[in-house]
Structure 1
């Protein structure tokens, strides 16, 4: 049987609140790093700064429009909710990113161009360390090919002279240069030996391989002209049309050059840490030589058949069929149709998911795929951070420019712990004043107010910790100000309820009978007041930027939690107090003066008719 209107079973509401608190703290201690501490913003704990310098294919300065668009996209990636406390500032041709804490890798990853393309796999080979890569002998004239590792000769020796090799051409590999024996000052230094990878490279790749080797040597920095040539030569080598099928002038199909494929695969360096100059500069209409993200495999890929711009959404999650995490990709209608048709016609063939010229995954198509598609990180899958990062860059789009990241540098707190302590002291003083006022004015009801505020603080703390893990929320001074203001909003809800309760008692009702009527009449006012506060916070959150956005977020969140506490804690506790003979005592409840006023009013009303009758 349901209770009468306005009356509740307080035990159920309190049990629900206890269950919510238990779930929140179970998540706090059972997920993430198990540390029950909220993340702090840059102004309180400092952070990490990384500079991203824009570069274009031609070497010309990037346009203002492309820089502004890149800043907006990176800001969306790093601070999509507006509450992570990260900052992205445009300084000339450089984007300066500052993120809270020691998280330089994350800041560097934000500069990914994030161009996702789907390409067919034409050929693949296992990657090996550079010094063990297979050597392809270049063609020679007039005799047998030189043995692997020997320098090719330029011709036959002159008659009567000893057979001596010609001076090697090119520049030495860094390792070989260090191994050259020193010569006496009087003897001329021997010419450097040619890098064996340059000697093994096909003609279209020689200049590219030599530039890559030079760039990997910190003692031989590339000039601006060579940096531009690195992209041009990389396209000639790694995007040679002969690597895939092509058509001649008559429209006939020309098959891929298998020898050229093997030669290019043999000289491409997939060792970790190599900066790919083609990131953001590859042509989707041409084949591509690419490495996987771990540098374990090399691929010859065909032209792109589907662009990442056809992606409508991307999310990270646990792999239900294996270890690690995966990324689920949803396509737009056109992209979904293209993907379904391609997978239906290429069963048992490999398709590569290529992100910024690196192969993220190259699975074998087992059947036609209609709908969402999952991207796995190969054996072992992605880690949680890798999957989240990939889903993030795919979801928010690719950058119009390529960027070279700088080394991460630590930034000290702009305000420091002294400011945090000042903010906490201010909040503590405000809370203490509210407690004192409630105890003096409401007595027992004031005690219930204090208990409700303490429980509300416990819920807020757990939510802060979880939001820091889930959406990167960081607590800064603006957020602390929002919570301090929220104390007043929460206290307002209690005041509305208690004053309505006093009005009911003044009308002659007992504490117990006044509670349900007071709750019905005050509930609508509480909801209206909190709704207005929440709408104001929402508008401020949408329109504001920077720390003001964090202030609006905390204020709005506290308003919602205020309703939870008032409905599930404060009201049930008042109901329990009204049903207790001890707690409902007028000396404890704080309603004694109100009850005496009501009794005097009733006596006056009764005495009035009696006096009139005597007259």
Structure 2
């Protein structure tokens, strides 16, 4: 019942998602099966800076960015000195921006800001905002840095023009910067760089709290700097808090555009700052993500961006599914041949596992953007054998108990106690291998490891919540409990033998299945051959005609008395045998 409720809840959630959200009844497909967007990035740096090591470091940072955005199965590789990023499906603009905006994250003091539109030339002459003669700046926040050339550039800048919001502009760390907010609402004049993004050790988003630990209900972004960044941030905030607005603000610049410009309210001594404002959950998470992964060892420009077709396509997916169907069919044939009707339990269990796997993949595709790749399909196919192996272990344990003379009810419970440990140990090894492979591998191999680990967990759910309870129910039916030859649990076909059950009782396979029967009374006049009689003790001589077992001493004497009463005589060899037996 619990498993049925779980499946119903799973698919009900997906169905509701198709009505009121962007869920789908088909799983998302990765780049190799669906195609997507390919972006080629070219580094902008001196020749000595572009090394294999820095390229690999840049790939790792871009991969972190893409993965953190919820996109899975992205392909990020190097071609010479270029980086090729393949994003499956139709990625969002936010995800594309995380790849395009690949310049370094930098912190600059705000000198001034204004409306995003250009300023008329006559207004510039009437209201100069900068000194007319060169003056040596005393600090990064000194307004003397706003030269007439900088002021003219600021006045002419139009941040409502999309061309000025693409980033990638010149970003000299030692010079002032005239730029726009990334959303085009404000334009800034910023001082030289004071802190590099590489000095951020961690950034996260969450609900703010008071000093007493009470939630404020407002979303905030928390930043923590490393040792060098802590010292620089302490010096910067100490200077900024003493300045009037807007010079008491510092700008976070990513790829030449301001993504946030908070005001410094206090001097931060420990390198741990909290950014608050009109954040939503999504905007706070985006800023934290940009701060976490915004720092690249190189600056890149987008060389090309284009839509690409599937590298493998539906034909390869179809072949993979056919391979899986063939493997499943072979497992079904083997199960029915080896276990007869009991094999239907294997088929039903595999069916439940398939339904659960499909449901979980659909749910992950909807909630975290998971996409199924061909290596992922291979992981699911491999899982067919792993799942079937669990059932085989369980069934063979039950058969072993039946061979020892137990009833089916007892064999199911005893067999489960023994099989459970084996199944848990086997699946634990498989899951551990999948986890290690996932964290050590990249690209498509991670897709294989993910589905392998997922199906291993589903195998445990099915065995514990379906296969074992079904066997408990079947053990109560006459067809299986009586050991019908077609059940796959016939004790006689399994070679069951009698065993001592204690208190003068033995257990052996009987005419109506395996049963516990008392030791027969030697003085009983019950006819030999009754299915409830047990043959205990040494048997000597030959069996009576028509009997399939040897007679005990008491039975031979009883047979001799009955023969004498009916006028029959025993042979000399029989009499001699009885005498010999009496002397034993």
**TM-score above 0.5:** yes
More strand by share: 2
Residue 138 of structure 2 corresponds to 246
Q: Which of 66, 69, 86 is the matching residue for 1:98?
A: 86
Residue 543 of structure 2 corresponds to none
Residue 549 of structure 2 corresponds to none
Q: CA 1:291–1:561 in structure 2 vs 1: closer, same or farther (change >3 Å)? A: same
2:287, 2:492 → 1: CA distance?
Answer: 64
Which one has the largest radius of gyration? 2
Q: Which of 23, 46, 49 is the matching residue for 1:34?
A: 23
**TM-score (normalised: structure 1):** 0.67
Residue 163 of structure 2 corresponds to 274
Residue 193 of structure 1 corresponds to none
| Aligned alpha-carbon RMSD (Å) | 4.4
Residue 308 of structure 1 corresponds to 197
1:109 to 2:102 alignment: no
2:404–2:496 Cα contact (<8 Å) kept: yes
**How much does 1:441 deviate?**
3.5
- CA deviations 1:124-178 (Å, max 9, x no partner) are 21212x4xx3325677xxxxx9xx9xxxxxxxxxxxxxxxxxxxxxxxxxxxxxx
Q: CA 1:84–1:42 in structure 2 vs 1: closer, same or farther (change >3 Å)? A: same
1:551, 1:300 → 2: CA distance?
Answer: 50
**How much does 1:561 deviate?**
2.0
- CA deviations 1:260-288 (Å, max 9, x no partner) are 57545312332343357984863445543
2:480, 2:134 → 1: CA distance?
Answer: 88
1:449 to 2:346 alignment: yes
1:485 to 2:474 alignment: no
Residue 322 of structure 2 corresponds to 425
Residue 358 of structure 1 corresponds to 257
Unaligned runs of 5+ in 2: 209-214, 500-506, 510-518, 520-533, 541-551, 554-580
Q: Which of 177, 184, 188 is the matching residue for 1:288?
A: 177
1:101, 1:75 → 2: CA distance?
Answer: 17
1:596, 1:94 → 2: CA distance?
Answer: 66
Matches within 5 A, 1:258-407: 260=148, 263-274=152-163, 279=168, 282-284=171-173, 286-315=175-204, 328-332=222-226, 335=229, 346=241, 349-365=248-264, 381=280, 384=282, 390-396=287-293, 398-407=295-304
Moved more, 482-491 or 66-75: 66-75
2:329, 2:302 → 1: CA distance?
Answer: 49
**How much does 1:391 deviate?**
4.2
1:119–1:351 Cα contact (<8 Å) kept: yes
Moved more, 494-503 or 408-417: 408-417
Residue 578 of structure 1 corresponds to 475
**How much does 1:539 deviate?**
4.2
Residue 535 of structure 2 corresponds to 607
**How much does 1:490 deviate?**
0.3
3-state secondary structure, aligned to 2:112: strand
Q: State how many pairs are aligned.
A: 496
1:590 to 2:488 alignment: yes
1:512 to 2:409 alignment: yes
Residue 208 of structure 1 corresponds to none
3-state secondary structure, aligned to 2:465: helix
3-state secondary structure, aligned to 1:35: coil
1:445–1:574 Cα contact (<8 Å) kept: no
Unaligned runs of 5+ in 1: 1-13, 140-144, 149-199, 205-239
Q: CA 1:498–1:88 in structure 2 vs 1: closer, same or farther (change >3 Å)? A: same
Matches within 5 A, 1:529-568: 529-568=426-465
Residue 524 of structure 2 corresponds to none
Matches within 5 A, 1:147-296: 246=138, 256=144, 260=148, 263-274=152-163, 279=168, 282-284=171-173, 286-296=175-185
**TM-score (normalised: structure 2):** 0.70
Moved more, 404-413 or 365-374: 365-374
**How much does 1:41 deviate?**
2.0
Residue 163 of structure 1 corresponds to none
Q: CA 1:545–1:305 in structure 2 vs 1: closer, same or farther (change >3 Å)? A: closer
Moved more, 435-444 or 38-47: 435-444
Matches within 5 A, 1:55-94: 55-56=44-45, 62-78=50-66, 84-94=72-82
**How much does 1:476 deviate?**
2.1
2:86, 2:491 → 1: CA distance?
Answer: 59
- CA deviations 1:481-502 (Å, max 9, x no partner) are 2111100100000110111011
1:537–1:553 Cα contact (<8 Å) kept: yes
Q: CA 1:48–1:586 in structure 2 vs 1: closer, same or farther (change >3 Å)? A: same
2:158–2:164 Cα contact (<8 Å) kept: no
1:47, 1:442 → 2: CA distance?
Answer: 47
1:88, 1:603 → 2: CA distance?
Answer: 66
- CA deviations 1:554-577 (Å, max 9, x no partner) are 222222221222122222232233
Q: Which of 394, 408, 425 is the matching residue for 1:497?
A: 394
**How much does 1:32 deviate?**
5.9
Q: CA 1:29–1:387 in structure 2 vs 1: closer, same or farther (change >3 Å)? A: farther
Q: CA 1:491–1:246 in structure 2 vs 1: closer, same or farther (change >3 Å)? A: same
1:113–1:280 Cα contact (<8 Å) kept: no
